[in-house]
Structure 1
Amino acid sequence: MSPTTSHSFAPSLALSFALTAVSTGVWAQSAAPAAAGASATASAAPSATAPPAPSPNWGAGLLLSAETQPYKGMDNTLKVLPALQFENRWVRLFGPVLDVKLHEAADSQLALRLRYSDTGYKASDSAFLAGMAERKSGLWLGAKGEWRNGLGQLTGEWMADASNHSKGQQLKLVLETMQHLGPVALVPRLGLVWQDKKHVDYHFGVSEAEARSGRPAYAGAATLNTELGVRLLARLAPQQSVFLDLSATALGSGITDSPLVGRNTVSALRLGYLYRF
């Protein structure tokens, strides 16, 4: 199927996570080794001492994103998106994610999080979706925490639908580690995303009024998705960095049992560039 700019599903959650990880934090700061010619050394194990408050800084970049879609008949998406970054001692903004910092130390972080999530669709996105009511994208509000040691990083996130479209919630846990390969950092990860019944039913349910021949009514159920991914980061210069992020997500049965869904896994490729002023 040809690439298009139709709405995207769960991969957009990984997209915003990848953007945030690349743009900020001890993980991202140390993940892009110095440009060629400079030595790359492994960072020492972090202490519990809070790091100095960051001075205000800005950045801008570009993201190319290609994603497969779970819905029957929906084309894969290809998007080119601008990205704006800002951080000071109180807030961190990158792309669709805004964090309000509550705690920040060398080995842990805690923040309130606001995210715009492009997870909706229109009936016109696929012939199979004809007659379905529009599912809207919206804002999600919650909290996220990070814990690091010498072996890796664990990130936890709880989000609720602040736009009140689905009235749903989701929990996400991501475990990742980092290895330096010369001027490139390799960051493999394993992620688990639990989505409640309301969230799944809104995006993948079929009401009695929407049911058709070959598309029976379906009430979504809470589900658990599993993501495997890897991110490669490189610093081209002190103010410039690039990343490549590859991921595959196995969808839970609450989603795959829906008559709207035509595949059990979705995949994504993202290529990004960031310049810090």
Structure 2
Amino acid sequence: MSRFTKIFKIAVRSRMGLAIAVALSASFATFASAHAAEPGQSSWRLGAGVAAIKKPYRDMDTKTMGLPIVGYENKWISAAIPTLDLKLYSDDSLSFRLRARYAGGDGYEADDSPFLAGMEDRKASLWAGAAVTWKTDFANFTGEVLADTMGKSKGIRARLQVDRRFAVGKFGFIPRLAAEWTDDKYVDYYYGVRQSEVTATRAFYQGKSTTHILAGLRVDYMPTKHHTVYLDLAASRYGSTVKDSPLVDKPNQTSIGLGYMYRY
């Protein structure tokens, strides 16, 4: 744990790096689920990647940068920046967990876009709650309910994801589909406009709860059991109360990532 904690602290200093890490965290979690440590054993995943993310806010440029890939798993812990799970109960198919995730991809700074000038910064937060994973012969299912522990939005979010890995020789194809519900406090904080922020081109807006649809495809190549090269494509379709925000000019968020991991 100490090695993971040190690397995590270094990574959180990069706000955009965490934003990209969060955008791809579902992909990393899918990989960890497909290649979990054997019972009684532990494993590390170390590597590096480059990714680009396009957020839905008006006039915000696509961000591209490199990031570290760090993961650790044993009987009781599953960790992959920026998510940490404590396994309360696990067997070959079912796992109940306490989960903490730093959602560095949420929010913005006013200078991220000319349209956001005069807005107060919306800060990312640490979210914590419960999660469950269920592996079946058909697919893997993951559910989570998390609350804002830092009081930024004071919101709640819940997600249900399904994914499956199809192996073709040394290649793997992992499509995933998820639905995420966010409450009115979350939407209002990150996509609302306060009375003090209203301008001639930016109307007052109070967000309401909504559901987003997320889809992705990960393609990995494993020349040996220790080495993995991957490509990940992801897109989110936002719910109506996000799309109606005057801060938003597109209904989607998209990302693409390319990286290498070594597992030992």
Partner of 1:86: 72
Query: Relative to structure 2, which stretch is displaced further, 58-67 or 212-221?
Result: 58-67
1:192 matched to which residue of 2? 179
Total equivalences in the alignment: 250
Match of 1:165 among 152, 161, 175: 152
* Superposed displacement of residue 173, structure 1: 0.8
Query: What TM-score results when the alignment is normalised by the length of structure 1?
Result: 0.84
Amino acid across the alignment from 1:91: I
Determine what percentage of the aligned residue pairs are the same residue.
Answer: 35
Counterpart of 1:134 in structure 2 is: 121
1:39 is matched with none
CA–CA separation in structure 2 for the residues paired with 1:221 and 1:112:
27
1:237 aligned counterpart, secondary structure: coil
CA change 1:122–1:52 in 2 (3 A) is closer
* Preserved CA contact (<8 Å) 2:86 2:98: yes
Structure 1 unaligned spans of 5+ = 30-50
Partner SS state of residue 26, structure 2: helix
Answer with 78-87 or 68-77: which moved more. Answer: 78-87
User: 2:216 matched to which residue of 1?
Assistant: 229
Query: 1:239 and 1:9, CA in 2 relative to 1: closer, same or farther beyond 3 A?
Result: closer
Secondary structure of the structure 1 residue equivalent to 2:24: helix
CA contact (8 A) 1:9 1:69 kept: no
In the alignment, structure 2 segments of 5+ residues that lack a partner are 1-13
Q: CA deviation at 1:156?
A: 0.6
Counterpart of 2:128 in structure 1: which amino acid?
Answer: L
Distance (whole Å) between structure 2 residues aligned to residue 95 and residue 11 of structure 1:
11
Contact 2:229–2:259, Cα closer than 8 Å, also in 1: yes
| Alpha-carbon distance in structure 2 between the residues aligned to 1:190 and 1:80 | 25
2:57 equivalent among 71, 75, 84: 71
What is the CA RMSD across the aligned residues, in angstroms? 2.1
Deviation at 1:9, TM superposition (A): 10
- Relative distance call for 1:208 and 1:7 in structure 2 (3 A) is farther
Tell me which structure has the larger Cα radius of gyration.
Answer: 1
Give the aligned residue type for 1:28: H
Higher helix share: 2
The answer to whether the 8 A contact 1:8-1:120 is kept is: no
1:53 paired to 2:39? yes
Match of 2:25 among 16, 23, 32: 16
3-state SS of 1:21 partner:
helix
